[in-house]
Amino acid sequence: MTDDPGIAFLSVTAYPDYMTTDQLRGVPQPPFERPVPPDARFIALPDPQTIRVAQVSVRDALEWWEPSGFLHRTTIKIDDLAFLLWCTQSVRELSDGDRITLRNVPSCGMRHPLETYLLVNGVDGVPEGLYRYLPVSHRLVLLSQDTNLSSDLSAICMNLPAVYRSAVTFIWTAVPYRATWALGARGYRCVFLDAGHVCQALVMAAASVGCEVRPIDLFHDALAARLLGVDGRTEFPVQMAAVGRRESRL
């Protein structure tokens, strides 16, 4: 066994023996999203079909993005947030006897192992706090209204100013069993590929609502997991993205 962790990862996640997967063993499929407590507080989001956004070409959307660590402290509309969530993770349709979700982003084996958390700093109609997105019902569930969380998350992300000044920061975690249930150990590759698909979709969609996206892959894993209330093993953070506006584009 090599001492190089990257090579070891490629080796143990190589094309799997599908006869060993829980799917073929008849183990029930894991749920599409984490459950919520019965006393949870929800925020309904606008229907994506009613939201009107600017018509932006693919080229313009790609060229709109620029690497920047700075975002101007502004707010965005709840319609903007709902549109970004719909483009990145919302369930468009359930198929195959409600066993498969069709969404606006690709996923290895259509497993969609990601959860979307949101640290809201400036979204009209959404109080500041930490939320989780429920893609099947297109709602937010409140996790914490601690207004100091933006400072905490900024520190977790090596004091990146964009996090503290963003209107909202997207935090994607992976629930790897959703992928490994069907794909075996190769499902671990799925979670990182999916994070890339989702973040790029956010970049593209943000251009239609005049927002900037600052992808974040450098963060303290254990502290990020603690802030989200996840265990870091059966669910762990994989990618973040601060969303807001830059002063030069106001």
Residues 2-17 pLDDT 10s: 689 999 989 889 886 6
Q: Which CATH class is domain 54-249?
A: alpha beta
Residues 69-90 pLDDT 10s: 667 788 999 999 999 999 999 9
Q: What is the pLDDT of residue 250?
A: 45
Residues 45-64 pLDDT 10s: 999 889 999 999 999 988 88
Residue 247, pLDDT > 80, answer no
pTM for the full model? 0.93
Q: Are 89 and 134 in contact (CB under 8 A)?
A: no
User: Phi and psi of 87, rounded to 5°?
Assistant: -70, -30
Residue 21, pLDDT > 70, answer yes
Q: What is the pLDDT of residue 70?
A: 66
Q: What is the pLDDT of residue 114?
A: 97
In this prediction, what percent of the chain has a pLDDT beyond 70?
Answer: 93
Q: Position of tokens 């894993």?
A: 221
> 150 or 237, which is more confident?
237
Average per-residue pLDDT for the chain: 90
* Mean pLDDT to the nearest integer, 142-170: 92
Give CA–CA dist 164/242, Å, rounded. Answer: 9
Give CA–CA dist 152/148, Å, rounded. Answer: 6
For the chain, what are the domain ranges? 54-249
In whole angstroms, what separates CA 220 from the centre of its chain? 17
Residues 96-125 pLDDT 10s: 666 788 899 999 988 999 999 999 999 999
